[in-house]
Amino acid sequence: MTVSFSHIRLFTAFVPALSILFLLSVVAVKVPGLFLGERFFRGGCWLQVVLAAAYAFLLCWKMQDICLRARWRRYSWLIFSFSFFGQLLLGIMCDSIFLLSGELHFPIPMMIIGGAVYRWEFGFMPLLLILTILLSGPAWCSHLCYFGALDNMAAGHLSLPPKPYKFLLPARYTILVLTVIVALVAKWSGLSYVVISGIVVLFGITGFFVMILSYKRHMMVHCSGYCPVGALVSLGKYISPFRFKINKEACTLCGACICRCRYGALSKAQIKTGKPGINCSYCGDCISACNHGALQYAFLNMNADHSQRIWLMIVITLQSCFLAIARV
């Protein structure tokens, strides 16, 4: 008995939808107040659970189509980012009910690292970051970061050829080290909350200005050269069993994929090695540009198609969960 592609596609889309129903139902029973809907009317959490599951099914169905993959990744990422920042603005300007804890925190990615070092403890966000890296490799930087979606939007349409800076890699790891050093100095020197807050806000505002370079160079300069979390993810992604590789036997070195990469992870020299650069976030935007099937996901000993479907199911499950309950 043969299984058609449509049946496989349908099954793949159902997996994250059912996973969302189970995971969020557990949260709804244990901590219903995490859901914004529950704060407005009794039982509102269950409406969010159903909507999140439907969203996961639709997204997984669409993203299995290679021709639609990049477009729907951008759509879903922007929905996630606008939802996050929209609730933040409503929490600041209208009512604290839109904030997760009712208190305002700094929604700046560097705080995941800087905050953990300063407090000398692994809180929820560092643990969540490590878990997502373990489950999905660098998907944090291509699907799950609210700042990354804005940088991706600033980089422009995939038809625009990127113009990478050579200093991006040294810059991002330098900033990662400086983030740790500044956090330690702030802790040991007893800097006031006002000074620390000023440093954090300045870092965040500077990040938005860096996105102007993303617009000019058609690549994600903020994510690839400024964000310390992105630097940590690029180093830590190897704890995940997922990989993204280039089949050198199938590759013709045509360079079509290079124009699709907004992370500066693909170049002629890098392609010849059989693997993308360390900045690769496994976003998959380059796959539709390759007519030879040379760009592939790898997971354990499975073939490329199965590996890609498993990765998609995990990432879409994570993003749908974050969309349903993630707020400042």
pLDDT in tens, 4-28: 678 899 999 999 999 999 999 999 9
pLDDT of residue 102: 54
* Rounded-to-integer distance, Cα 288 and Cα 87, Å: 34
Is pLDDT of 123 > 90? no
The pLDDT tens digits for 60-69 are: 999 999 889 9
Higher pLDDT, 305 or 106: 305
Q: Is the separation of the CB atoms in 165 and 100 below 8 Å?
A: no
* pTM for the model: 0.92
Output the six-digit token pair for 60: 């997984």
The pLDDT tens digits for 142-178 are: 999 999 999 999 998 877 788 888 888 899 999 999 9
Averaged pLDDT score across all residues of the chain: 90
The neighbouring-strand residues paired with 243 are 298
The pLDDT tens digits for 30-49 are: 998 889 889 898 889 999 99
pLDDT of residue 1: 46
What sign does the dihedral 184-187-191-195 (CA atoms) show?
positive
